[in-house]
Structure 1
């Protein structure tokens, strides 16, 4: 699809799969874009109409310099569904995308069917960490963050083994609009969904990276323990588990969505 106007702002949206299939909406992590899901699309688009978009502040979507919140990011997703005439969809979000998924399942659960929350947290502190990052990005852009982020997002073994994926993610990080990134950092800084998510009634799968330093296993387990009936799956991966373990991630999500 071309760039679509959603609530008066541009959003980059892509759709794959049969028009009459159930809809699966994907939401990217902080610092990436919709292409982070490329390894999953060939399989998922056989069974689903897969809708993915560059989150606000990322890729080719709007990156206006104004206050963002997790609620705003959730409302963006709802507006995209409305724009496309979709009443209900499955959800899969990783990291920031999982935070948006928690908000949606809490505040608009009837618009979602099954929900996948991957490598994410309900609260991401401390605030000083985010404030330092915001200040740095606003002053110096993204360049200084790329290498430290890659070292947190992927295990050393994977970084040494798959240079092509590392290069692709490095490019996504480098080209993320600094002001959009900074405002999304502020949204994450201000988020605390630990209590609200207890009200979620959708079927939920929490994907956990066994060696994820950004959202450690305990963060994923807290989410699972807070949502009645939530399932978990642990993958031998760090933060971007869909890229470090693409086959296992693809299969685990597909099995859950088709259960």
Structure 2
């Protein structure tokens, strides 16, 4: 296991691929850890290096009280500087996409290009996140798990045995880490900053995404000059899990063009 020491404790990461190769940083979604990418990784260009990590309060990383997207972007910047000298391509999904947008705005020297998957410049509202926080604090993570699975996955995937693994990953996420990330989402509004970005950007949506619907994702693509928008038919919120072949097929040409 690989660990980056941060002021608050350990940030767990994993770096795969040829030594010295260009790096792609992968920032995952709320309630998941770096295992999110395992199905899609073998389908991406193998001449590149892939840097995955558990954000604060998730997986094996400590929680330092990060309740702002800027805190998570600072972790990502520190990780790039420590183990993958930039600039790098940043692939962010859901809250990971907001982290990617904030990182590109705060540290453009570290970001070569962006892939924003199933995300937006503004996700939800402060009231909706507060409702989620109160449910978790009152009844625990298991109380929201079934509703989240409905937002994450299309009906066909929810009918498979694999659903249990993702429900378990969510339910076993530390409540304090999940709540802190929800607070970060409640305060995150990257619309103005993302409209000022000037770098190659690919934006991906899932047709059946109940957490970040396609129209919301497309609106963020429209904010960023030159960004391209792609829709994966039948995919939910986590296409790297549900439709990894289609997800990889979209990302591969972009990575081959912009990673080096």
8 Å CA contact 1:114–1:204 kept in 2: the answer is yes
What residue number does 1:192 align with? Answer: 189
8 Å CA contact 1:59–1:175 kept in 2: the answer is no
**Cα distance in structure 1, aligned partners of 2:34 and 2:12:** 8
What residue number does 1:89 align with? Answer: 88
What residue number does 1:169 align with? Answer: 166
What residue number does 2:40 align with? Answer: 40
8 Å CA contact 1:28–1:95 kept in 2: the answer is yes
What residue number does 1:28 align with? Answer: 28
**Cα distance in structure 2, aligned partners of 1:58 and 1:154:** 20
**Aligned partner of residue 209 in structure 2, secondary structure:** coil
**Cα distance in structure 1, aligned partners of 2:204 and 2:174:** 28
8 Å CA contact 1:205–1:230 kept in 2: the answer is yes
8 Å CA contact 1:16–1:41 kept in 2: the answer is no
1:135 aligns with 2:139: no
What residue number does 1:220 align with? Answer: 217
8 Å CA contact 1:92–1:116 kept in 2: the answer is yes
Deviation at 1:139, TM superposition (A): 2.7
**Cα distance in structure 2, aligned partners of 1:133 and 1:14:** 30
Q: CA RMSD in A?
A: 1.4
Deviation at 1:126, TM superposition (A): 2.5
Stretch deviating more after TM superposition (29-38 or 76-85):
76-85
8 Å CA contact 2:45–2:256 kept in 1: the answer is no
**Cα distance in structure 2, aligned partners of 1:52 and 1:168:** 19
Deviation at 1:8, TM superposition (A): 4.5
What TM-score does the superposition give when structure 2 sets the normalisation length? 0.94
| Matched positions, count | 256
The change in CA–CA distance for 1:197 and 1:27 in structure 2 (over 3 A counts) is same
| Unmatched segments (≥5 aa) in structure 1 | none
8 Å CA contact 2:34–2:52 kept in 1: the answer is yes
Stretch deviating more after TM superposition (9-18 or 77-86):
77-86
8 Å CA contact 1:11–1:53 kept in 2: the answer is yes
**Aligned partner of residue 122 in structure 2, secondary structure:** coil
**Aligned partner of residue 92 in structure 1, secondary structure:** strand
**Cα distance in structure 1, aligned partners of 2:37 and 2:247:** 11
What residue number does 1:15 align with? Answer: 15
**Cα distance in structure 2, aligned partners of 1:48 and 1:146:** 35
**Cα distance in structure 2, aligned partners of 1:116 and 1:193:** 15
**Cα distance in structure 1, aligned partners of 2:127 and 2:56:** 23
**Cα distance in structure 2, aligned partners of 1:199 and 1:170:** 37
**Cα distance in structure 1, aligned partners of 2:254 and 2:105:** 20
What TM-score does the superposition give when structure 1 sets the normalisation length? 0.94
**1:228-243 equivalence runs, <5 A:** 228-236=225-233, 237-243=235-241
**Cα distance in structure 1, aligned partners of 2:122 and 2:4:** 31
Deviation at 1:201, TM superposition (A): 1.0
**Cα distance in structure 2, aligned partners of 1:158 and 1:116:** 24
1:145 aligns with 2:133: no
What residue number does 1:52 align with? Answer: 52
Deviation at 1:195, TM superposition (A): 1.4
Spell out structure 1 runs of 4+ moving beyond 4 A. none
